[in-house]
Structures are given as structure tokens and as C-alpha cells.
Amino acid sequence: MKRQRTIEWQTNGICNYNCSYCIQSPKYRQGYPTSEEIDKFLEFFSQLEGEWEIKMSGGEPFAFPGFMNQIIPGLAQLNHRVSILTNLSASRYTLSEFCKLIGHKVNIISTSLHREFVDLKSFLTKLKYLRSLLPQEVTIVVNSVLVPTTLTELLEVKHEVESEGFTYFPQWLKTKTGKFNYSESDREILPLLIGDKPNSKQANLSPSYYGYPCWAGVDYFILDQFGNAWSCRTAKRYKEGYLGNVFQGDVKLWNHSRPCPYTICPCTVPANRGMIEL
């Protein structure tokens, strides 16, 4: 698969939800860049060579006023694509402004369905509205955390999401130490939700790519809301793979692939952008 240079940018920590299964603890689900710092991010992106995909997440990006006031108008002027991970709680007006400003640069909209805070019907109604505002080639997926003991209900959710023409993307529940160990009865239902042998475009099972050459740190990296750059999510978790800080102007990417040293790759972005040589 051709490598699609990608930055995963946690634009802000704040979130308007508080999901019981969130892997970001409330202690770290905070912080956002100042206006001057957003300018530094935009300056940094403007100096990157070639076209990158900037995939933004939070917290919840739309819960941070600077996202719509400054980040999106700024990115609309640059020569990069954008993607977004959102809980879809933004108002219809805000979503419509987003699409007006940057809809033509969007690659993927990943929406996360959190049934603790929204019912499926309202979620899908808003999602259809968003779909109507975007070019047809934009991919829209519905992320759904496989919350233990709710899997039977999720079979119905999957059916409803797919009936409306959207991609249902199940996510294996993660814990601070790795992957959640489902009960025997949940394990009987899991294959109906994720299939027998799902690939990284069909489900996020947080697999291991230990030992495979990976281009993280070269053509893929992550940025946090404080300007820190890291080679990948797992590296950051272990305080490894630090690449520098955008505000200090010292981000330096690696220039060659390295064998993956980790036994969990929690996010499908590196695999789906061709970073791992399998």
C-alpha cells in the first residue's frame, strides 16, 4: 500500500462528554493551545514538504472554540488534506460552517457513537445531514466501542448504521494495559460484530506488529495539544519516540523505517495509511 503521509493531531484535550470507557483519564483530558500557539502549528504545517493528511482529534475538537475560529480557517489555506475524529455533538450550524470552509479538503470523517450521551436515531439523523454537505468521495465511518455486556444491542446498532449506508467500525475496548478480556458470553457475539478475520479497515482490534518495519516517525507522527511530536501513540505512552516540540521549532523527523518494538498498535491509522510493511 502506498504510504499516505499523515499527522494525528490532538488539537485539544477538552471534551464535552465523559464516557465511562474513555481511555483518556479526565486528568489528561484537558488543555488547548493559545491563539499564538495555533499560529505556530499552522506555520509548522505550512513548512512541511508535499501533501500531508492532518487527522484531528481531541478530546472533542468541536468542543474547543479555537478549532472552528482559527484552526479550520487556517488549514483551509494550506496545501494539505484533513480528516477528523468527532463525537458528532457539534450543532448542525457548526457542521455546515465546517463543510463550507474545508469540505473540499476532507478525506475521512470518523464519527464516534457514544450511546451513553446520544441515542442512535438522533446520531444518524445528524450524520445524514453531514453526509449531504460533503463531496461524495469523502469517507464517513461510525466508530463503535464494543462495550462489554452491550454487544447484543450493538448488533442492532450495526444493522441500523449499515442500513443507512454508513460503515460500521467496531473498536475492541482498550484498557490502560492493553486489550480488554471479554467474557465467554460476549465472545460468542463478537464474531457477529467484527467478522471472522477482520482487517484494519473493518475493525480496530489493536493488533501487534512487533518486529515489522514501520515508517512511524518518518511519514507518520502524532502531535499533542502542547506542541509535542511523537513517532506514534504507543511510543508516546512509553515516553519514547519524542521528535521535538512545534512551539520550540525543533521537530525533527526520522529518515528511515524501524522495526516496531511494541506488542500493541492501538490505532488503525498507521496500518491504513501504509506505514507498516507486512
Closest CA to 28 of 44, 45, 13: 13
| Closer to ligand SF4 by Cβ: residue 19 or 190 | 19
CB of 135 to ligand SF4, least distance (A): 26
Q: Smallest gap, in angstroms, from Cβ of residue 21 to ligand SF4?
A: 7
Residues 182-214 as b or e (16 or more Cβ within 10 Å = b): beeebeebbeebbeeeeebeebbbbbebeeeeb
Pick the binder of ligand SF4 from 87, 144, 171, 206 (CB under 6 A): 87
What residues from 6 to 35 belong to the interface with ligand SF4 (CB under 6 A)?
15, 17-19, 22, 24
Asked whether position 270 contacts ligand SF4 by CB under 6 A, the answer is: yes
Q: Which is nearer to ligand SF4, 42 or 269 (CB)?
A: 269
Q: Cell 461524495 appears where?
A: 136
Question: Which residue stretch of 4-12, 45-53, 56-64, 155-163 sits at the interface with ligand SF4 (rule: CB under 6 A)?
Answer: 56-64
Q: Cα–Cα distances in Å, from 12 out to 71, 72, 126, 214, 269?
A: 11, 13, 23, 27, 19
- How far is the C-alpha of 60 from the C-alpha of 52, rounded, in Å? 22
Angle at 174 between CA 171 and CA 180, to 5 degrees: 100
Q: Out of 216, 223, 229, 246, point to the residue binding ligand SF4 (CB under 6 A).
A: 216
Q: Is 118 in the site for ligand SF4 (CB under 6 A)?
A: no
Closest to ligand SF4 by CB, 87 or 158: 87
CB of 232 to ligand SF4, least distance (A): 3
Report CA dihedral (169, 175, 181, 185) to the nearest 10 degrees. -60
CA-to-CA distance for 71 and 66, rounded, in angstroms? 6
Closer Cβ to ligand SF4, 46 or 117, answer by number: 117
Give, for 6, the enclosing helix (H) or strand (E).
strand 6-10
Decide: is 209 part of the binding site for ligand SF4 (CB under 6 A). Answer: yes
Distances (CA, A) of 230 to 9, 21, 141, 254: 10, 24, 26, 11
Determine, following the binding rule CB under 6 A, whether residue 232 of this chain makes contact with ligand SF4: yes
| 60 sits near ligand SF4 (criterion: CB under 6 A) | yes
Residue 267: CB minimum distance to ligand SF4, A: 8
Query: Interaction with ligand SF4 in 238-267: which residues (CB under 6 A)?
Result: 260, 262, 265
Question: Which is nearer to ligand SF4, 15 or 38 (by Cβ)?
Answer: 15
Instruction: Name the residue nearer to ligand SF4 (CB basis): 42 or 109.
Output: 109
Torsion angle of C-alpha atoms 117, 58, 152, 163, degrees rounded to 10: 90
Per the CB < 8 A criterion, the answer to whether 43 and 36 are in contact is no
Residues at the interface with ligand SF4 (CB under 6 A): 15, 17-19, 22, 24, 58-60, 87, 112, 114, 209, 214, 216, 232, 234-235, 260, 262, 265, 270, 276
